[in-house]
Structures are given as C-alpha cells and as structure tokens.
Amino acid sequence: MEKQGRGQFRDGPAAESLRFGRRFMMGDAPRGRIAERFARLAAERRAGFIPYVTAGYPTLAHTRELLAGLAEAGADVIELGIPFSDPMADGPTIQRSSQGALDQGTTVDDAFAVLAELRESSDVPVVIFSYLNPVHSRGVQTFIRRAVDAGADGILPTDLPLGADPPLEAALEACPLDLVRLIAPTTSPARVREIAGASQGFVYYIARTGVTGARAELRGELVREAGAVRAASPLPVAVGFGVSTAEHARAVGAAADAAVVGSALVDRLDDGGVAGALELARELRSALNEVRPG
Amino acid sequence: MTPSTPHTGRFGPYGGRYVPETLIPALDELAAAYAKASGDSGFLAEVDRLAEDYVGRPTPLYRARRFEAEAGVGPVYLKREDLNHTGAHKINNTVGQALLARRMGKPRIIAETGAGQHGVATATACALFDLECVVYMGTEDVERQSLNVYRMELLGAEVRPVDSGTRTLKDATNEALRDWVTNVADTHYIIGSVVGPHPFPLIVRDFQAVIGREARRQILEAEGRLPASVVACVGGGSNAMGMFHAFAGDEEVALIGVEAAGEGLGSGRSSAPLNEGRPGVLHGSLSYLLQDADGQVAPAHSVAAGLDYPGVGPEHSHLKDSGRARYVSVRDGAAERAFRALPGLEGIIPALETAHALAWVVEAGRRGEVEVPVAICLSGRGDKDVVHVAGLGDGEAGSGDGEAGPGAVP
Ligand SMILES: Cc1ncc(COP(=O)(O)O)c(C=O)c1O
C-alpha cells in the first residue's frame, strides 16, 4: 500500500498538477485504498460516505455486524474508533459509546481483531480513529504494525495537531498508514494550507467549533468554509462533527468530497440496533449519491 | 513572576500540546499574550500590587516549634499559603491569569476544580475583574467539598457538576476542555495547576513561583542559610513547582514532592503517578500518568480531592527523571492523622492535601531521613475538609492504613 500526501506531492510541479488535476488525475502514482476510493468517487461524480463506529459498542459482536453491514451499504471509508477513557474532543454520545465499550472490556487488540475479520469480506478503506495515549502506550511502531496487519489504511489521532510532536508525526507520516489531519473552523488560512499539505489520504474538516455530537442544524457558513478548505487542499476533504441527517449529508456533499457521520449513527444504534443504524447509513449513502462537490 | 524567555513547551521530553486542532489558535494567542505581558513592567507591577493589596502577600514563613518537638526534627518552617485570601496558594495563579484574560479581551472564564480551592480562587478573581465564571467539578467532589461549592456560588460563579467517569478532578478537567473547545472565541480557561497543554504549565508555575521566591529570602533571613529540604504535596503540582522553582539552582537543597498513596501504592486506589505511573498523554501534555496496559487512564483515589488526579505536571516528570527532585508518597491515614495533629500543636488547620506534606516530614523524620532545616509549603487551610474528616471517624479504622509500599509512609 502506497500513500499520497506530503513527501510525494508537497512541492514543485507535482503539487501544482495535483492541485488542478486533483483527486482523479494522479497519473501513474501508486495509491492506497483511500486515494483509490476518492478517485473513484470523483470519477462517478458523487460524494463519499464515511461512517464512524466505536469499536466494542455496545459489544464487539455488534461492531462486527455493523462494520460488515456498513461496507455492504456502500461506505467509502470507515472510521473505526478506539474507545478511550478520556475523550476530550467528544460530546455525550461518543463519551457514552467509548465508556460502554471499555465497560465491556474492549481492548485495542479487540478493535484490530474486528477489523481483521472485516477484511475477510471487504476491502473498504478503514481509518483508525484514536486519542494519542493508546497509541503512545503500545509504542507507536508496534501500534502501526498491528494496525497494518489488521488491514487498516489510515490513522486519525484526535489530539495530535500539526507540529505537536515532530518525531512522532514523522514516524506516522513514514508508515504505511495514511496520517489523516484535522482542520478546524478556528484554523488560520495559512495553517489550513500547511495542514492540508501535510495530510495524507484526505483532510478532515471539523464542521463546528466544539465537540462531536448530533445536531438538528448545520451552521450556515459551513458550506462556504468547506469550499475554502477544499480550494486550499491538494487532497479530498471530508466534513464531520454534527452531520446527522440525509439533508445535512446533501448539504455537505455539495461542498466537500465526503461526509463523516458518527454520533447520529451511535444514537441510532442505541435506539434501533444494528438494523436501525444500517437503515440510517443507507439513507445517508443515497443522499450522498445524489450530490457531488462542484 | 519571572519574565520568561521563549519556551519550547517541553520540560525534557515532557509537556507539549496534544490537543484538538480547534484549540491551537487559542494556545498560540495565550502564549503570545503571556510572553508580551511577562515583559511588560506595567503588567508585572499590577500583579505585584494585587498580590500585596488583595491576596495578602508576602505570606509568613513560620517556624513551627511544637510541630518540631512532636516530629523530632527541626528547624521546620511552614510557608503559610493558607493565609492568602481564599485560603490557598491557588489565588496566586488565578489573579495573574484573570489579568491575562482581561488583556486578551476574553469576558468569560472557565475552570476545573477538585478540592474547590481553585474554583473559589477563580470565582474570586472573576468577581474582582467582573468576568463571567463557570466552574466544573466532579459530583464526588461536590459532595466532599460542599463548603467550597457554596462559596463559589456566593462569589457569583456557576458550578457545573460533572457526573462522568470517576466524577472527580480528571473528569472535571475533561469537561472544562470540552467547554473551551466549544466557546474558545470568548473564553479563557484558567487551568488550576501546572498541567495541560503548553503554555499552561509554564504560566501557572511562573505565577506560583512567588511562593519559593519569598520563602528563599525569608529562610535566609531567619536561618542565615538555605533550607536543606523543601517539601510540598503534589496533585497537579502547582504549589510544589511554585515552592521548588526558586530553589532549582540551589543544588544543596533537596526538593521533595509528596504524592497521595491513597490506600497504598499498588492497591489500585492511589494518586501517585510519579511513583507508580508511566509516561502518557492526558489533558494535552505528556507526563507520568496512571494508566493500564492498553493506555486507558486509570482511576485515581485520594482522601484529598485536590490530589485525586491520575496525572501530574510535565515539569515534575522532568525533575524526577533528572533526579533534581524526589517524589515520595503518603497514605490517606497518615495524612488524616497529620490533619488532626497540626491544629492542636500550632493552631493551624491544614488542608488534607497539605497534610500529606506534613505527614511525610513526621514519618520520614522519625526514620531520621529529613535533612534540616526544612521548609514545607503549607498550601492551604483545611476548613473545607473539617466536615469530611469528621465523617471518617477517629482515623484508626478504615483509613487506608496498613503495610506500607515502597516510599509510602506507614
Ligand atoms: C490546598 C491545596 N494544596 C494542594 C493542592 C494540589 O494542587 P497542586 O499540586 O497543583 O498544588 C490543592 C488542589 O486543590 C489544594 O487545594
């Protein structure tokens, strides 16, 4: 698996051509599954669907079933969340799912094991979504090796902003996983360009200043902001945090390359079980099929 | 306050800024505002004036002769941070940070609190500067430090109980960080100890360093020499860093931090990350941390709400690794006994947090392990703990005594 992003495309004419021919005119550059998926989405002129799942919530058996179902429902990338005891960027829903998973005794290895099982039936790209401490605790290289062996394609550390830990970031950039970077509404335009240039696979734009959690409304400025990030980014842009309904997905999908849906799926899992969550997933999927970013 | 040179945010390998991207601009803004303020004589003069007129500094360095007789060591000096307005060292930091917030034009303040002392000190500074104040506090602490909840409310703060996780300081801090991520545009987070992402550990240490600066001058006057030992309790580590900082260059002075062993090291009911944790990332910085094999943060326990925290400030981790400071621990029961003993000996009711430092001097003194003269940071007064300790009974049964672990006081 090869990855795109920094290093390969950062400077010079390659970066230029990437900016204009982005997402689907990658020439002969070898790509990872994430890049391939986004290239295909662009070619098919539709927006991507990225569901988030907390590993082990409410049980590992549910996660297993949910992952397979989401792949079948047409998820383009799946974010597999490693539950953490102190999820400081998360609202009540994902706090609850993380604590629930930990109460079940879910470990990092359990999360990798369900991913490895998914790989028996699906090659949908999977990004490991984790707070830094479980990664640090295991040892970065060991964590990476286990994740790669299990079939992960990317890693998204919530609490590792650009420049926070250059040696650690370099290790993650050099590894076979795509290091997906986050951009927030508070990020300055200059830093948006830096982060987008350093990200791998895709760029994650945080839809609001705040923590995760389902919302009734998206902010009015979101579409314009996502467009600005997209214009500054050589990579596809996914938007998440608060995206909850098919209507939201359509709005996001018209401005960005993909929509990430987390808390709303967890809420639906609570109310309607795996079947309910998959029903919402299919609604979101078809809504995103109807739109594509301009 | 010492004007600080540009800081990397690292103490050895520890510290850093492991936070969601959303907070990076606010941390940059804070670091810049602080760098500017700490080189501005007007700002420094205002901090000094408030320390004198409002907080009541300098605090005395008091020689505790009856305590010496009881402990069999002396001279023992107590740095009386309990005599600060609001009753603890915490206000040294909150007044400084509230001034910074005002300079940055942030009208809203949030804080976390364990013992409630930092919450009270924050609410006080907010009243003084007419800032809106919200304090997060774990529901277990709301119960055991109820006096301070009422004080905060009287001072005009809103206390928001936090019922998640361990329902103590760690979870209050998570909730404060979530609030900050959400309201960062108009809100400053006055963090209560030398923890959190850069530049907080630096700012809080600098505002607390007045403790050691005064103590150093005072003991030189009283004894004509530096202390052989400087002792302070360590929760997040702010009173200890404040006490240690001025002595850091005095190699002949032993710096001793006392962590809470709770029901004993190894019991799984302790709050001593420097004694039994390993480096990890919590609340934005890399430091020693109580955690399980999978990197999940382990629940802490201490009878003292202000020490009941699985992490510790990054500078302490560096001082531990470098050997410049030594970190010991004291159990709940020994701290409770010191809490009960000092009032009758000296007419001073110490906070349960502070009682850990006193207990270590008593117990290590009996073993002949305390170099004198010793200066102890009496970080706060214990009014807030009276009801809770009374409810614990006579301090002999069920107080977490038993066989001592390594470094623990039996
Ligand atoms: C009186 C007193 N001492 C000590 C502490 C522990 O904090 P730190 O280690 O930051 O001084 C607290 C915390 O609430 C406190 O109230």
Ligand 1, residue B241: give the atom nearest the CA.
11
Give residue A35's identity as a one-letter amino acid code: A
* Element of type H or E holding B31: helix B24-37
A103 to chain B, any CB pair closer than 8 A? The answer is no
Q: Is residue B276 classed exposed, middle or buried when 0-12, 13-18 and 19+ CB atoms within 10 A define those classes?
A: buried
B181 contacts on A by Cβ (under 8 Å): 88-89, 209-211
CB-defined site of ligand 1, < 6 Å: B 88, 114-115, 117-118, 193, 233-240, 306-307, 351, 353-354, 379-380
Question: What is the DSSP secondary structure assignment for residue B54, as one 8-state letter?
Answer: I
User: How far is the centre of ligand 1, averaged over its atoms, from the C-alpha of B233 (Å)?
Assistant: 7
Helix (H, G, I), strand (E, B) or coil at B80: strand
Mean per-residue pLDDT of chain A: 91
What is d(CA A49, CA B118) in angstroms, rounded to the nearest whole number?
Answer: 45
**pLDDT-based confidence at A292, cuts 50/70/90?**
confident
Give residue A268's identity as a one-letter amino acid code: R
Measure in Å the smallest separation between the Cα of A164 and chain B Cα atoms.
6
- Answering whether pTM is above 0.80, one says yes
Residue B393 confidence (pLDDT): 77
User: How far is the centre of ligand 1, averaged over its atoms, from the C-alpha of B37 (Å)?
Assistant: 26
**The pLDDT of residue A11 is above 90:** no
CB contact under 8 A, B184 and A209: yes
B169 contacts on A by Cβ (under 8 Å): none
**pLDDT-based confidence at A7, cuts 50/70/90?**
very low
Give the pLDDT mean for A113-140. 98
Beta-carbon contacts of A251 under 8 Å, excluding residues fewer than 6 positions away, are: A218, A222, A223
Residue to substitute from B14, B18, B110, interface A, most A β-carbons within 10 A:
B18
What is d(CA A128, CA B284) in angstroms, rounded to the nearest whole number?
Answer: 20
Give me the phi and psi of A273, to 5 degrees please.
65, -170
**The pLDDT of residue A27 is above 50:** no
Give the pLDDT mean for A125-152. 98
Residue B7 confidence (pLDDT): 73
CB contact under 8 A, B20 and A191: no
What is the count of residue pairs from A and B with beta carbons less than 8 Å apart? 118
Structure tokens given for A16: 């230029």
What is d(CA B209, CA B244) in angstroms, rounded to the nearest whole number?
Answer: 8
Ligand 1, residue B380: give the atom nearest the CA.
1
Structure tokens given for A117: 């099982």
CB contact under 8 A, A136 and B297: no
Structure tokens given for B367: 């073993």
Measure in Å the smallest separation between the Cα of B214 and chain A Cα atoms.
35
Helix (H, G, I), strand (E, B) or coil at B189: strand
A88 vs B17, B177, B295: nearest CB: B177
B296 vs A85, A161, A184: nearest CB: A85
Residue A4 confidence (pLDDT): 47
Q: What is the DSSP string of chain A?
A: ----BGGGSSSHHHHHHHHHSTTT--TT----HHHHHHHHHHHHT--EEEEEEETTSS-HHHHHHHHHHHHHTT-SSEEEEPP-S--TT--HHHHHHHHHHHHTT--HHHHHHHHHHHTTT----EEEEE-HHHHHHH-HHHHHHHHHHHT--EEEETT--TTS-HHHHHHHHHSSSEE-EEE-TTS-HHHHHHHHHH-BS-EEEESSSS-----S---TTHHHHHHHHHHH-SS-EEEESS--SHHHHHHHHHHSSEEEE-HHHHHHHHHHHHHHHHHHHHHHHHHHHT----
What is d(CA A277, CA B259) in angstroms, rounded to the nearest whole number?
Answer: 47
User: Crossing angle of helices B117-129/B146-154, nearest 10°?
Assistant: 0
Give me the phi and psi of B376, to 5 degrees please.
-110, 135
A165 vs B16, B183, B282: nearest CB: B16
Measure in Å the smallest separation between the Cα of A127 and chain B Cα atoms.
18
B25 vs A108, A164, A187: nearest CB: A187
Report cis status (omega within 30 of 0) of the bond before B60: no
The residues of B carrying an active-site annotation are 90, 112, 379
**B360-396: b (≥16 Cβ within 10 Å) or e:** bbbbbbeeeebebbbbbbbbbbbebbeebbeebeebe
Choice from B193, B245, B378 to test ligand 1 binding pocket (greatest atom count within 8 A of CB): B193
**The pLDDT of residue A28 is above 70:** no
Residue B155 burial (CB count, 10 A): 20
What is d(CA A91, CA B313) in angstroms, rounded to the nearest whole number?
Answer: 26
CB contact under 8 A, B18 and A132: yes
A186 vs B25, B177, B297: nearest CB: B25
Give me the phi and psi of A207, to 5 degrees please.
-70, -15
Residue B23 confidence (pLDDT): 96
Ligand 1, residue B204: give the atom nearest the CA.
10
Q: Give first-to-last CA distance, chain A, whole Å.
A: 29
Give residue B342's identity as a one-letter amino acid code: L
Confirm if B349 and B147 have CB atoms less than 8 A apart.
no
Give me the phi and psi of A74, to 5 degrees please.
95, 25
With a cut of 50, list the residues of chain B below it in pLDDT: 1-5, 396-410
- Cα angle A77-A276-A66, degrees, rounded to a multiple of 5: 40
Q: What is the DSSP string of B161-187?
A: EE-STTSSHHHHHHHHHHHHHHHTTTE
User: How far is the centre of ligand 1, averaged over its atoms, from the C-alpha of A21 (Å)?
Assistant: 57
User: How far is the centre of ligand 1, averaged over its atoms, from the C-alpha of B197 (Å)?
Assistant: 19
pLDDT in tens, A161-215: 999 999 999 999 999 999 999 999 999 999 999 999 999 999 999 999 999 999 9
Q: Given the structure tokens 């579409």, which residue do they identify? A: A223
**The pLDDT of residue A15 is above 60:** no
Confirm if A177 and A155 have CB atoms less than 8 A apart.
yes
Residue B83 confidence (pLDDT): 98
**A105-114, A134-143, B386-395, range with the lowest pLDDT:** B386-395
Give the pLDDT mean for A223-241. 96
What is d(CA B108, CA B131) in angstroms, rounded to the nearest whole number?
Answer: 6
User: How far is the centre of ligand 1, averaged over its atoms, from the C-alpha of A9 (Å)?
Assistant: 50
In chain B, DSSP finds a helix count (H) and a strand count (E) of: 16, 15
Q: What is the DSSP string of A30-84?
A: ---HHHHHHHHHHHHT--EEEEEEETTSS-HHHHHHHHHHHHHTT-SSEEEEPP-
Confirm if B293 and B263 have CB atoms less than 8 A apart.
no
B24 contacts on A by Cβ (under 8 Å): 161, 184, 186-187, 191
Residue B389 confidence (pLDDT): 92
User: How far is the centre of ligand 1, averaged over its atoms, from the C-alpha of B88 (Å)?
Assistant: 8
CB contact under 8 A, B22 and A132: no
- Cα angle B51-B52-B55, degrees, rounded to a multiple of 5: 55
A89 to chain B, any CB pair closer than 8 A? The answer is yes
Q: What is the CA radius of gyration of chain B?
A: 19
User: Crossing angle of helices B90-104/B41-50, nearest 10°?
Assistant: 140
Give residue B309's identity as a one-letter amino acid code: Y
A104 to chain B, any CB pair closer than 8 A? The answer is no
Choice from B135, B205, B239, B245 to test ligand 1 binding pocket (greatest atom count within 8 A of CB): B239
A107 contacts on B by Cβ (under 8 Å): 294
Give residue B1's identity as a one-letter amino acid code: M
Residue B409 confidence (pLDDT): 37
Domains and CATH numbers, chain A: 30-288 (3.20.20.70)
Residue A294 confidence (pLDDT): 74
User: How far is the centre of ligand 1, averaged over its atoms, from the C-alpha of B239 (Å)?
Assistant: 6
A132 to chain B, any CB pair closer than 8 A? The answer is yes
Helix (H, G, I), strand (E, B) or coil at B98: helix
For A90, nearest residue in chain B (alpha carbons): B178
Choice from B191, B330, B379, B384 to test ligand 1 binding pocket (greatest atom count within 8 A of CB): B379
- Cα angle B186-B192-B196, degrees, rounded to a multiple of 5: 75
Residue B6 confidence (pLDDT): 56
B295 contacts on A by Cβ (under 8 Å): 84, 108, 133-138
Q: Given the structure tokens 């000996």, which residue do they identify? A: B345
pLDDT in tens, A79-105: 999 999 999 999 999 999 999 999 999
